[in-house]
Structure 1
Amino acid sequence: MTDESPRTDEEIQRAVVDRVREVQILGSDPVSEQLIEDIDVAEGIVTFTVDFEPVDRVLADRLTDQLRGAGLATDGVAHVRVEAAGADAPETGLPVSGVDSIIAVGSAKGGVGKTTITASLARALAEDGLDVGVFDANVYAPDAPDLLEAAGPVQTSPTGRPMPVEADGIQVVSIELIAEDGPVAWRGAMVHDVVKDLLGNAAWDDRDVLLVDLPPGIGDAVYTIVQQAPLDGGLLVSTPTDEGVRATQRTAALYAANDVSTIGVVPNMVGSADETTAGPFDGTDPSVATDVAESAYDEIDPIPFDPALREPTARSFDEPATDGEAAIDALRETVESFLASDAGPQVPDDAVDLRGLPPETCQRQVVTELGASTDGPVSILMRGEPADLVDVVDESLARDDRSLERTTVDDLGYEGWLVELEPTAAPASEPAT
């Protein structure tokens, strides 16, 4: 007797992989050629994540059609989607995919506590439920992994992308987790290349926010990130000294020159509020923030000198026990408020991500999605010209005596376009006579 029970997602996935291995491209199959980064199966829907970089547009279209055919030829598969690896990366500048928001933490002055602030803020955001990543951009003295207790080495994905190391839920990438042979004499273009490779190509896994710990000074790493990365905003860290303020002003000017919004200025390592802990500074001049940056999203309370912050992994910022912990928790609130105010249109959870696909492939996938949808509009994330897509969809629907009842297009900036398409209902079929 034949077992007719539904197959599990794992069984379907293995069957799809076997089918894909029968596809011939570039003299081999997509799995062996490492073109397939992921195959996900859920509720009868197979989603292929494909690295299209090694193939031209013609091969990309052919590969997409073959993958769709292999998926649909597998028992238990009702629908197939093809997405591009790194789909949410911007088309120009320094691409960073897999993250919703990127915030730089900087100051041209060394020793002001940028890394401690970054690590503590990362922990506070993670405790509040956000998926957090940390990129340590200091190629000369990388300290973030130690503060976050992240241990390497960094591994690579099947397509050669650096895989972040996970430390208690926080994903971390740093040269410290790669350069196991000790210090490296990075110079000029080498710094640019290593930052671009580690930050731009890292396989960040669906992070709500990525904190970038900038090195001191205004060097190659800082310029590369501030000028080319899709930063949503930047924090400035300064000690309440003339030297600290002057140095941080240079980073503030770099933010402003590259249209990076300043979230606020963090006066760091001041004397504790209750004067029970001696600090390197007696207090903070209230003009520090205005001296550093002409405008900022919000005023940030000083961070007192607190030895507890030397071990951020041992702290609980949602239930602060020290003045330093409470100040970091307040900083977390400011950052989350900035992210909420800076957020664009809300992308639906079920939006189909078609960024990075060739235009013809994207259009065919949208028509397929509309044909498979039976319960309302379809949301699409895409690049290219939305009007061209709408024209193709209109023509396709007209062949079935249908049309678009509603079309909404939102510009997401470097993230592309959010397009919501709601077609009219399919005409009722005539009863058989």
Structure 2
Amino acid sequence: MEDETPRTDEEIKRAVIDRTREVQLADGDPVSEQLLEDVSVEDGVVTFTVVFDRLNRRLSERLSDQLRGAGLATEGIDHVRIEATDAEAPESGLPVTGVDSLIAIGSAKGGVGKTTITAALARALNESGLDVAVFDANVYAPDIPDLLGAEGPVQNTPSGRPKPIEADGIEVVSLDLIAEDGPVAWRGAMVHDVLKDLLGDATWDDRDVLLVDLPPGIGDAVYTIVQQAPLDGALLVSTPTDAGVRATERTGALFTANDVETIGVVPNMTATGAESSPYEGDGRELEDAINEEAIASIDPVPFDSALRTPTACSFGEDGSPGERAVAALGETVAEFVAGRGGSRAPADAIDLRGLPPETCKRQAITELAVSDGELTLLCRHDPEELRESIEETLASDGKRLDRVDIEDIGQEGWVLELETELLARSEPLA
């Protein structure tokens, strides 16, 4: 008789998925109901990434138990790990996952070349080796896809989350890659919803930096992102004109009022290059006029027709004056990202964030059971409550926590470093 035992991780994964189809929910199974964002198998460990935010607490706990049972009932599976799709989401009104640093680029004045700077900067950062994404927040006139050569339509994951379009290694999400109808008069709650659906729910894939191209003005889209998205910093863009300075100064004041650090002021289309500029002045006075608290001085970006097509630009030493200026801007932003952005969570930590409370505790216990006595956890629930629950369970198994270190890492939650030891027979269990 032919041996039908799964051999490879991929074969085991298919067997696990078949088992999960036997799990009964109110209207179907976890696969057909699109409650599984991902299923992965490696070295006998199956990881279920679950869309818990579509379920109430009771159903969430029940689904976790059933998935654990389905996984352990599959040949080749020794351990089951449950994760949440929004595990990395910071505690903000517009959470964003899969991104180390989020930087807004704005100016209340239209026509200052802000979107061109965003697209060119994205290319320069990508060329320097960073993993880059761009979100086009201009729901009124989205232009980023044309400048970066991104073509839609955006596809959705099984759970309905938008998957960014990749253009030469840069991930892009824009309403222009989705909307097929005519112009829409976006207002208030509509703007918030579309930004949450596109920026907050997008499955950004481990990006070092996400640039957010803000629309001109200070309207609903700008307020929503500045006040609710977890921005690490911002760039202000202005032409060397009185109107540009006044408008950009208002945007800078909005950033400052919402504790968003200004990386720098970008003087754009200045008369400092080989080509003649429609504006006078080199723009070097703009930093003092717009935001004296900017942490870096940005060299002017001269008027340069090459920047109109960022996909054809080269941001090395042999580039045009505009290309060299954007490359220098990229170095400033990369330095900011390296020093201010990035996750503080240990790379080897087991991520319990986003799990229902009981599932969180049970997962911690099962992870300890298969560990070598040392374990690092990430959680959002009360870490002391989780520690007490772990101690109680360990005591019943003749073990105790020898060391517990708890670190608050801000919006990312808490890190728990645990070390256990087996009690001697003469020692009490509690």
Shorter-chain TM-score bucket reads: over 0.9
The DSSP-based 3-state class of the residue aligned with 1:403 is strand
* Aligned AA (2:321): D
Structure 1 residue 249: Cα displacement: 0.5
The within-5 A match list for 1:123-142 is 123-142=123-142
In the alignment, is the contact (CA less than 8 A) between 2:133 and 2:171 conserved in 1?
yes
- Structure 1 partner of 2:410: 413
- Alpha-carbon deviation of 1:261? 0.9
Residues 111-149 of structure 1: CA deviation (Å, up to 9, x unaligned): 111111111111122222222211101111110000110
Query: Mind listing any 5+ residue stretches in structure 1 that lack a counterpart?
Result: 429-433
Structure 1 vs Structure 2 CA RMSD: 2.1
Q: What residue in structure 2 maps to residue 111 of structure 1?
A: 111
Partner secondary structure for residue 14 of structure 2: helix
* Letter of the 2:83 counterpart: E
Give unpaired runs (5+ residues) of structure 2: 426-430
Contact residue 135 and residue 213 of structure 1 kept, 8 A: yes
Percent sequence identity over aligned pairs: 65
CA displacement at 1:205 relative to structure 2 = 2.1
Residue 176 of structure 2 aligns to which amino acid in structure 1? E
- Would the aligned equivalents of 2:232 and 2:341 in 1 still touch at CA under 8 Å? no
SS at match of 1:90: coil
Are the equivalent residues in 2 in contact too, given 1:320–1:329 (CA < 8 A)? no
Which residue is 2:39 aligned to? 39
2 CA distance for matches of 1:55 and 1:171? Answer: 30
Q: Counterpart of 1:283?
A: 281
Counterpart for residue 95 of structure 2: 95
Q: Measure the CA separation in 2 of the matches of 1:126 and 1:72.
A: 42
Distance 2:122 2:421 in 1: 46
Q: What secondary structure sits across from 1:267 in the alignment?
A: strand
Aligned counterpart, 1:122: 122
Please give the residue correspondences for 1:135-214 in structure 2 after superposition, counting only pairs within 5 Å: 135-214=135-214
Q: Which whole-Å CA distance do the structure 2 matches of 1:43 and 1:78 have between them?
A: 9
What secondary structure is seen at the aligned counterpart in 2 of 1:140?
coil
Q: CA deviation at 1:24?
A: 0.8
Match of 1:396 among 390, 393, 396: 393
Task: Tell me, in whole angstroms, the C-alpha distance in 2 between the residues paired with 1:112 and 1:99.
Answer: 27
Q: Deviations over 1:307-329 (max 9, x none)?
A: 22112122232555222222222
Name which of structure 1's ranges 94-103 and 207-216 shifts more when overlaid on structure 2.
94-103
Which of these residues, 372, 377, 384, is aligned with residue 380 of structure 1? 377
Q: Identify the residue that residue 428 of structure 2 maps to in structure 1.
A: none
Post-superposition Cα deviations, 1:178-209, rounded to whole Å, max 9, x if no partner, equal 12233223233322322222212222222222
1:323/1:177 Cα in 2 relative to 1: closer, same or farther (>3 Å)? same
Cα distance in 1 for partners of 2:59, 2:145 equals: 41
* SS of residue in 1 equivalent to 2:53: coil
Contact 1:237 1:267 in 2 (8 A): yes
What is the CA deviation profile of residues 348-407 of structure 1, one whole-angstrom value per residue up to 9, with x for unaligned ones?
Answer: 322222211111111111111111112x63222211111111112222223344333333
Partner AA of 2:195 in structure 1? V
Distance in 2, matches of 1:323 and 1:313, equals 16
Q: Secondary structure at the match of 2:150?
A: coil
Post-superposition Cα deviations, 1:10-67, rounded to whole Å, max 9, x if no partner, equal 1111000000001111242111111111101122221111111222112111111111
Q: 1:2 to 1:193 in 2, by over 3 A?
A: closer
Equivalences for residues 254-273 of structure 1 within 5 A: 254-272=254-272
Question: TM-score scaled to structure 2, two decimals?
Answer: 0.93
State how many pairs are aligned: 425
The structure-2 alpha-carbon separation of the partners of 1:411 and 1:280, relative to structure 1 and needing over 3 Å to count, comes to farther
Q: Does the 8 Å contact 1:345/1:410 carry over to 2?
A: no
Task: Tell me whether 1:86 sits opposite 2:83 in the alignment.
Answer: no
2:385 partner amino acid: D
SS at 1:180 equivalent = coil
Between the aligned partners of 1:57 and 1:256, the Cα distance in structure 2 is: 39
CA deviation vs aligned residue, 1:148-169 (integer Å, no higher than 9, x gap):
1000111222112222111112
